[in-house]
Chain A
Amino acid sequence: MSAVLEADGLQTYYGKSHILHGVSLKVNQGELIALLGRNGAGKTTTMRSVMGLTPPRGGNIKLFGKDVTKAASHRIANAGVGYVPEGRKIFGHMTVHENLLVPPETKGPWTIETIYKLFPRLEERKTSKGGRLSGGEQEMLAIARALLLNPKFLILDEPSQGLAPVIVQEVMRTIGRMKGEGMSILLVEQNAHLALQLADRAYVLSDGEVVYDGSAAELGADTERMEHLAGVSHAG
C-alpha cells in the first residue's frame, strides 16, 4: 500500500506555545483514518501543519511521496488535498455559487454541475448567502468546495460539530460514500464513536503527542481505554 500522507515527528508552535511534540502519522491509499483526542490535544494543529497553514518547526511531511514540509498551502491543496476546516469557514458574505467559484477548476469528475447533483440542496440555495445556510448546509458546502479540487485525499476537521444528529448521519453517509469511491480520508472528530464506525485505523492525541496508534475496531470495542485516552464515553 502506498502512503498518501506521512507525517514524521511534527513539532508545531503557535508563537511561543509548543503544541505538537513529535506527532507522527500515516494515511495509506484508500484508508479512512480517525484522529481523536480531547479539546486542545492538538488535532486541529496537526491538520493545519499538514495543510501548510501552521508549518511545523521540526519534523517533516510527505504527501504522495513528495516532501511538502515547507510548501505553501495552495501548493498542498493543488497536489490533491481537499481540506474541510474546523468551523467550515464558509464565506458568509458570498453566495453558495460564489463559494464554489473560489477553488480553481481542476480536471476530474467533480465540477460545479456534478457537485449540485450530489448536493441538490446546494443548488436550490445557490443564490443564498453562505452565512444564511443552516449548519448542515454549510458543512455540505465546505465538503463541496473541497471536492472541486478533485482531491485524492480528503481532510475533514470536525465535520459533525454543532450539527443535529440526523444531519450528522447524513454527513457521515457522504464521507462513507467518498471512502467507497476510493478516497483516502483523514477524519478529525470529537465524536469518537461516530468516527470509529467508519475508520480503518485510529490515532489518539493527548497534549500534542500520539498516545494510541492502531485498529479503529479494537479501540471502539475497548470502552474503558477510549474513555481514558480520548475522554469520551459511550453516551457521546
Chain B
Amino acid sequence: MLYSAFNGLVVGIFYALMALGLSLILGLNGVINFAHGTFMALGGYLAFTLEPYIGFWGGLVVAPLLAVVVGLAVERFLIRPLYGRDPLFSLLLTFGLAMIMQDVIRTIWGSIGQPFALPNYLNSPLSSSMFFLTGFRLVVIAITVLVTGALFAVLRYSRIGIRIRAGNADLETISSLGVNIFFLRAANFGIGIFLAGVAGILAAGQLGLSPTIGDSLIMPAFVAIIVGGVGSLMGSVLGGLIIGIASGLTAAFFPVAQEVVIYVIMAVVLVIRPRGLLGQEGLFE
C-alpha cells in the first residue's frame, strides 16, 4: 500500500511539474502548449547526451537551459505572431510542433528507448525494508520541492514574478504601466519550458527515455490542471499529486482502471466543484 502510494507520488510529481509549466504558459501566454511533452523529452535527451561530459548533476542544470533556448526561439518566431488571436491557432501550432519535434528527436537519438544511466549511488535502495525508496526517488522529490519552492518564491517576491501574476489578470493594464509584455511572455514561456526540461530528466531517470515519454504525461498534466483549478498554480501541483497517487494505488489494487481513474477523478471534481479544487483563487493565494 505504502509502496504503491509512493510510486504514485513519484509519477504525480512528474504530472505536477508538467502541469505547473503548462499552467504558467496557459495563464500569461494564453497558449495551450501541446508541445510541452516534447520539450520534456528534449530535456531528457539533452541530459542523456551531455551526461558523459558533465555528469548527471551538470546535465540536470544545463539540459533544461538548452531546452529553454529552443523554447525561446519557438516563442519568438512561431508563437508570438499568434498572440491576440483565437487560442485555437496556437493550440494547432503547438500540436504540429510536437509532432515535428518528436520526429527530430527520433532522427537524432533513434526511435527505440534509451536507458538513462544514473550514478550508482542514486540507484540502490536505501534500506532493504524500504526497497522502493531509492536515492534517486528522494532526489526526484528534493529537486521538485526545490524547483517548485523557487518558482513560488520568484512569483511572490520578485518584480518579474509580481508582473507575471498581474499580467495573468490583466495583460493590457501592465502594458500601459510600462511593462514590456513581449519580454515578460517570453520569460514566462522560458520558465515553463525549464520546468518541462527538469521533469524530462527526472522522468528519464525513473522511466527511461523514449521519444514519446512526454505523451504519456501530457494528458494527465492537463487533467491535473483541471482538477486543481485553471489559473491556480498551487492547484496544478496539488492536482498532479492527487491523480498520481490515485493512479499508483489503482495500479496496485485494480490495474485495469489505472488509466481511467484520473479521468474519473476529473469528472467527479467537475461535477462537484466545476472550477477545480483551488480554482476560485488567483495565482497561489
Chain A residues within 8 Å of B, Cβ to Cβ: 51-53, 72-74, 76-78, 83, 85, 89, 91-94, 98-99, 101-104, 106, 145-146, 149
The SS class assigned to the B binding surface is: helix
Q: Considering only CB atoms, which chain B residue lies closest to A148 in the complex?
A: B177
B176 contacts A91, CB within 8 Å? no
CA distance A149 to B163 in the complex (A): 15
A77 contacts B163, CB within 8 Å? no
A98 to chain B: which residues have CB within 8 Å? 162, 165-166
CA distance A228 to B172 in the complex (A): 34
B270 at the interface (CB under 8 A from A): no
CA distance A101 to B157 in the complex (A): 10
A145 to chain B: which residues have CB within 8 Å? 177
B60 to chain A: which residues have CB within 8 Å? none
Known: A93-B283, A93-B285, A94-B162. A102 touches B169 (CB 8 A): no
B285 to chain A: which residues have CB within 8 Å? 93
A77 to chain B: which residues have CB within 8 Å? 175-178
B182 to chain A: which residues have CB within 8 Å? 72
B179 contacts A89, CB within 8 Å? no
- For chain B, residues 270 to 285, give those with C-beta under 8 angstroms from any C-beta of chain A: 281-283, 285
Q: Considering only CB atoms, which chain A residue lies closest to B281 in the complex?
A: A93
B165 contacts A104, CB within 8 Å? no
A-B interface contact total, Cβ < 8 Å: 70
User: How far in angstroms is the closest Cβ of chain A from B164?
Assistant: 10
B252 at the interface (CB under 8 A from A): no
Number of interface residues of B (CB under 8 A): 22
B166 to chain A: which residues have CB within 8 Å? 91, 94, 98-99, 102
B174 contacts A102, CB within 8 Å? yes
A92 contacts B169, CB within 8 Å? yes
Q: Considering only CB atoms, which chain B residue lies closest to A91 in the complex?
A: B166
Q: Considering only CB atoms, which chain A residue lies closest to B159 in the complex?
A: A101
CA distance A53 to B84 in the complex (A): 12
CA distance A72 to B84 in the complex (A): 14
Q: Considering only CB atoms, which chain B residue lies closest to A106 in the complex?
A: B178
B283 contacts A149, CB within 8 Å? no
The residue that B176 contacts in the complex, of A53, A94, A106, with Cβ under 8 A, is A53
